[in-house]
Structure 1
């Protein structure tokens, strides 16, 4: 992102940028030109001199700042970023100031320094002060912009997470879910008491996970898979062979996931497709590179799917905060597939 301090790239304006340098050069020329205002020629030379130095140093510092921002994040390594920024920008400004001064001396007066040592010493002392001011200005602006961006992103994330967690919690304790679960449980109590006890434990584990994860932005993938086992057990108990779920995922210690993502995707598949003995629903959860895929055979119910769109939109928004990789959706006449990136967190 190339920017003038205080402007985003989409706000960048070349005329505005040039105007800023013209105004800056004019101010410097007015206060530094000997004999002003009685000598317009000297003022003109001073203006050109100041403009060339201003635009070369400012543009270079702008590009170098952008490069450093891409390589070293302010919020991750602020001390290194500050020190490196000051050193690089002071060094660049020092070199460019002396090059500009040499060229302008030759162009306007046709002279080159007779004593290079004195020239470099004189230029260095004067330039270091200017360069230090410029580098501190860019460093301060860069840090403030990064801090402001981080604060806004954090606030947005908290708001989105609250919405997402509320939706997830509501989906699990809605009357439909409770009604179906209690119906299954009431049948099990008479038919298979051991299975009924296991059903109650799995249902308890499911609600415990929902409550425990409601304040978490990310959870280890293995915890999500353990929760998914409980959820799959409840679904299989209800639908039996009408629903076939194949889980093919091996979690690693640094694999993380937005809480309840996989459950919501399976819930969408069950909710929006026919599940019957004649048309069994087959859901596969598999790992494919850095993604997890949830795929089901497509046999949609004749109902609207606004809730599915809302759920997927929530998932997309959550993952956008943690990964540059997008949530991908693919649909054919035979299957429906959602791919979510596996999130990495260093221990």
Structure 2
């Protein structure tokens, strides 16, 4: 009983302090050594207590007997340590696998939500409305509009199953998206894209597009109140800022877009997305990931 309870206590304490997943070798070595020391000590102490209770004192040859029995104690101790260490590793491995599968399922959900949001029928409907006007007014611009819309939706489909994508590709896609919006809103929308991408810069697909879409969705865009969106780089972050001029009839915001981006980043990095509302400005700091991460 002392062996069992003591070893269970040691295992629980070690599990709290040393992770099987992060440092398995360290956890195994410290666990085996700790369990062997405890098991051997407990074995010897139990022998001493048995003699003291039954005989009233230790026999003269107790030292020799203890040395001889220590071989058995070591074997028992190692066996106990091996069993407990194996059980601990298998339990942690099972938990890790379950968590990994859960994260995969959640990631697929957020990817699906992202893809569904990008293929928003309202966005497609608005683009076709713009295109129908351009066909009669400016055929050359209409051809360019179709080309940009084609590039945009090709990117949406191609990046739908990717967790990250190069920042350069995202910016190229964003230029197509901005072109469609500015063709629709003309001078009422001013989007400034001022950042360069390094070769190892990565980003969650369509994250920037979602932020621009949110700005257009929740703010007035008119000649009286033009919407201004600025996208710049701030160290290893992308800063997206827009002037705040909320619509008089507000949309029922579920914050799905921001939540989607935040959750997708949470699967990939410890860096946090920073959202700030400062007077008449809405700011979002989006982490730039690196290919080595």
TM-score range, shorter chain: 0.7 to 0.9
TM-superposed CA distance for 1:253, in Å, is: 3.6
Number of matched pairs: 285
Given candidates 9, 13, 38, the residue that maps to 1:96 is 38
Aligned match of 1:313 in 259, 267, 278? 259
Flag the 1:107–1:186 CA change in 2: closer, same or farther, 3 A.
farther
1:175 aligns with 2:117: no
2:92 is matched with which residue? 142
How much has 1:317 moved relative to structure 2? 2.9
**CA–CA distance in structure 1, aligned partners of residues 97 and 80 of structure 2:** 26
Q: 1:163 aligns with which of 74, 88, 113?
A: 113
2:150 equivalent in structure 1: 204
Give ranges in structure 1 of 5+ residues lacking alignment: 1-24, 26-49, 74-80
C-alpha separation in 1, matches of 2:167 and 2:58: 70
| More relative contact order, 1 or 2 (CA 8 Å, 6+ apart) | 2
The answer (yes or no) to whether the contact 2:190–2:226 under 8 Å persists in 1 is yes
Q: TM-score when scaled to structure 1? A: 0.71
| Deviation for aligned residue 1:106 | 5.5
Separation of aligned partners in 1, 2:291 and 2:5: 42
Unaligned segments of structure 2, at least 5 residues: none
**Following TM superposition, where does structure 1 have runs of at least 4 consecutive aligned residues deviating by more than 6 angstroms?**
none
Give the CA deviation at 1:224.
Answer: 1.0
Question: Following the alignment from structure 2 to structure 1, what is the Cα–Cα distance between the partners of residues 46 and 247?
Answer: 77
Find the partner of 2:187 among 226, 241, 246: 241
1:187 partnered with 2:133: no
Q: How many Å separate the matches in 2 of 1:291 and 1:298?
A: 21
> Is the aligned partner of 1:274 residue 2:220?
yes
Aligned-residue RMSD, C-alpha: 2.9
1:273 and 1:281 in contact (8 A); partners too: yes
CA separation of 1:118 and 1:292: change in aligned 2, threshold 3 A? farther
Q: TM-score, normalised by structure 2?
A: 0.83
Counterpart of 2:83 (choices 115, 128, 133) is 133
The reply to whether residue 293 of structure 1 matches residue 239 of structure 2 is: yes
Q: Pick which of 105-114 and 201-210 moved more.
A: 105-114
Return the alpha-carbon distance in structure 2 between the equivalents of residues 289 and 141 of structure 1. 42
Pair 86,310 (structure 1): closer, same or farther in 2 beyond 3 Å: closer
